[in-house]
Amino acid sequence: MNKQVTSRYSKLRSLLPRSLRMRLLAFLLAAIVLAGAVQGALAYRGALGEADALFDYHMQQTALALRSGLPVDAQGLGPGLDPEDENHEFIVQVWTNEGLRIFESAVGADLPQIAVLGFANVQARGGTYRVFSLQTRAQVIQVAQNMAVRQGMARSLALRTLAPLAFMAPLLVVAVWWGVSRSLAPVERVRRQLAERQADDLSPVSDAQLPDEVQPLVSELNLLFERVQRAFEIQQHFVADAAHELRSPLAALRLQLQGLQRASDDAARAAAAERLSSGIDRATRLVEQLLALARQEAAATPTEPVDLRAVAQLALADVAAAAQARGTDAGLLDSDAATVPGNAEALRMLVRNLLDNAIKYTPPGGQVDVQVRAEASGHAVRLTVEDSGPGIAPEHRDRALQRFVRVGSDSAATGSGLGLAIVQAIAQRHGAAVELGASERLGGLRVAVVFAPETIAPGA
């Protein structure tokens, strides 16, 4: 049953014109025709009511005028009583009290005698007649009229009422066409702007003088252009960054390969192979970080609720092997249960990058702590990662968040300078701020990611 209804609805929609202008014209003209039909019906009903009242009054006065005596012939009753005319207005019949008809104004009128005095509707001669009966001492006077006369008069009055509307209909069509065309002119202007621009032109479309119904559509289109432009810029940055940063690792890999090929003994060959393996690992890590940064910068704003403390525990599990290899004590301090809107995998990557940096720059046997706190004032959530490493000087902290910047003082630690840049990109996606400072408890770097109150999920 539902399929049949859907099929019929689809067929009905297919019959509608696809042009918005033609649809508006069709609906407006249909509304005009419907309004004319309603006006005609109301005019007919009003005219019929007035005709009933007027003719009932005349029928009553005619019957009262005949109480004094009968006319000499039918013509004495006035115009419209021609016995040869079946459509004459009034028919008069006079009956005795014994039920004997002694007069009729129209030959063969054959209207039944009605015992009920006053007005009544009767079926006679193939139609409906309105009859008024009046009784005197010796007789009953009946005055009747065919209802078709009244209905014809009402139709005539209704048609005369609709005549001006029929005359104005062509003018209304022209006016509606002009008004719709003028209203859709801004839409046509937007269409021309889009048709004339080049494929790489993502500038906003002008929404000046657009109707309120169309302006949201153009606003969303401009937002789409902005997102596409941002995606293009991210792509261009990724290509430029990859070309810049991969040049040195690839050149180093080539030199290390040549060193492996020129090795004269097994020891030299093993050392060259180890250097080559380390170079491949660094290049792989660089490519992974470049791809991660590009994904985070191009991703949409997340909205699902995420347990930040659970995310921190998962990130600690990810870096447990690296921390154990360096003898670093990495753990989660006493933390609050806090929920923020975001993407769980992205936030896990954020915490993991902070832990990777902290473990990398902390001397062997050091300490790295993670903590999640829900601040009482403003209900903000603060994620902090502290280490016992050398930290970052205050004058270099702003630069540390930029891509391909390495400001660590440990020369043994190597990297691409993308760890904190990825953290910054993920934090911006989640409406959070990244703050770098000194750890008063451990003496190294303290990184805090602060989620503002407006970004916290309800019920956190």
Measure the CA dihedral 324/329/331/333, to 10°: 180
The 3-state secondary structure of 145-210, one letter per residue: EEHHHHHHHHHHHHHHHHHHHHHHHHHHHHHHHHHHHHHHHHHHHHHHHHHHCCCCCCCCCCCCCC
Q: What is the Cα 111 distance to its own chain's centre?
A: 69
pLDDT tier at 78, thresholds 50, 70, 90: very low
Domain boundary among the residues 174, 196, 218 is at 196
> 203 and 271 share a domain?
yes
* Number of domains making up the chain: 3
Asked if residue 434 is part of any domain, the answer here is yes
> 77 and 105 share a domain?
yes
Could you say which DSSP state residue 453 is in? G
> 249 and 314 share a domain?
no
Q: What secondary structure does DSSP assign to 342-396, as a single string?
A: S-HHHHHHHHHHHHHHHHHHSPTT-EEEEEEEE-SSTT-EEEEEEESS----GGG
Domain boundary among the residues 263, 298, 333 is at 298
> 338 and 450 share a domain?
yes
Interior angle at CA 339, CA 338 and CA 340, nearest 5: 125
Asked if residue 377 is part of any domain, the answer here is yes
pLDDT tier at 77, thresholds 50, 70, 90: very low
Asked whether 368 and 358 are in contact (CB, 8 A), the reply is yes
Asked if residue 5 is part of any domain, the answer here is no
Who has greater pLDDT, 354 or 458? 354
Q: What is the mean pLDDT of the chain?
A: 77
Domain boundary among the residues 241, 274, 298 is at 298
> 118 and 251 share a domain?
no
Is the pLDDT at 277 greater than 50? The verdict is yes
What confidence score (pLDDT) does residue 2 get?
58
Asked if residue 317 is part of any domain, the answer here is yes
Domain span at residue 451 reads 301-455
Asked if residue 147 is part of any domain, the answer here is yes
> 141 and 250 share a domain?
no
Look-up of token digits 């347990």: 307
> 306 and 257 share a domain?
no
Asked if residue 3 is part of any domain, the answer here is no
Q: What is the pLDDT of residues 397-414, one digit of tens each?
A: 777 776 666 665 444 445
Taking each continuous run of H as one helix and of E as one strand, the counts in the chain are: 10, 12
Tokens of 414: 């190597």
Asked if residue 1 is part of any domain, the answer here is no
Could you say which DSSP state residue 257 is in? H
Could you say which DSSP state residue 100 is in? -
What confidence score (pLDDT) does residue 410 get?
46
> 102 and 86 share a domain?
yes
> 294 and 242 share a domain?
yes
Q: What secondary structure does DSSP assign to 287-317, as a single string?
A: HHHHHHHHHHHHSPPP-SEEEHHHHHHHHHH
